[in-house]
A = this chain, B = another copy of it.
Amino acid sequence: MSHVLKEIIKNLSVDCAIFGFEKSFLEILLIKRKRNPEKGRWALPGGFIKKEELVDQAAKRVLEETTGITNLYLEDVAFFDAPERFPLWRVFTFGYFALVSPENYPVHIGIDTTDVKWFKLNELPDLPFDHKYIIDTALEKLRNRVRYRPIGFELLPAKFTLPQLQHLYESILDKKLDKRNFRKKLMAMNLLQKLEEKETNNIKRAAYLYRFDKKNYNKLKKQGLIFEL
């Protein structure tokens, strides 16, 4: 790595909102800041962009350096440009997000952090800067996204029940969905294959297991759909 590559552009940073779905809860990954400003507080994994870097590269590098997460496809959310968002000087930040199954992405404490932890979205600590706003904007993008693209393939086990899928949608949309209506709409999408098996950990009212029809899933993901829930 050349000396030039190491120089940062101090007006430009990236912040990553990594959402996790585990046991029916939507979570977000936070790091504890090692340096000022806001030393010791929980915040989004973030950092400055280097002089020769692309913004996407910066997001991947910063996420890896702070949390240990590698090989994650990050999508850009928006840029955040409120003049007062960083207290010391003007910093524009590029927000990125991803939705993952936490068990597939083990984390460890990286540089400039003293801790890394998943937090339930409804148990968030008070966040510095505009990080709460970045999370809300990413969530909005995620909520809008589920109208146009099916989700779940990367987040649910290979075989899952309809209640599990409904929980996923409910936790992203943060509202209760009508069971009958949800199923009717889902079925109309030809997205699911019903299996002969039932779940085994719920003896009393075991639900049938389903899996995604990978071909139709990818087709719908590419084509788009309008899925009003």
List residues of chain A with CB under 8 Å of any chain B CB.
9, 11-12, 51-55, 79, 81-83, 90, 92, 94, 147-148, 223-226, 228
A82 touches B54 (CB 8 A): yes
Instruction: Indicate how many identical chains form the complex.
Output: 2
Alpha-carbon distance A135/B11, docked complex (angstroms)? 26
A90 CB contacts on chain B under 8 angstroms: 9, 51-52
Residues A224 and B81 in contact, CB atoms below 8 Å apart: no
A sample of 11 more A-B contacts (CB under 8 A), given A52-B83, A54-B81, A148-B148, is: A11-B12, A12-B92, A51-B90, A55-B79, A55-B81, A55-B92, A79-B79, A148-B224, A223-B228, A225-B226, A226-B226
Chain B nearest CB, measured from A181 CB (Å): 17
A52 CB → nearest B CB, Å? 5
Residues of B within 8 A of A82 (CB): 54
Question: From A7, which residue of chain B is reached at the shortest CB distance?
Answer: B90
Report the separation of the CA atoms of residues A51 and B11 in the bound assembly, to the nearest whole angstrom. 10
* CB <8 Å contact, A83 and B55: no
In Å, the complex CA distance between A81 and B79 comes to 13
Complex Cα distance A9/B55, Å?
Answer: 17
A83-B5 Cα distance, complex, nearest whole Å: 11
Q: Which single residue of chain B is at the shortest CB-CB distance from A57?
A: B81
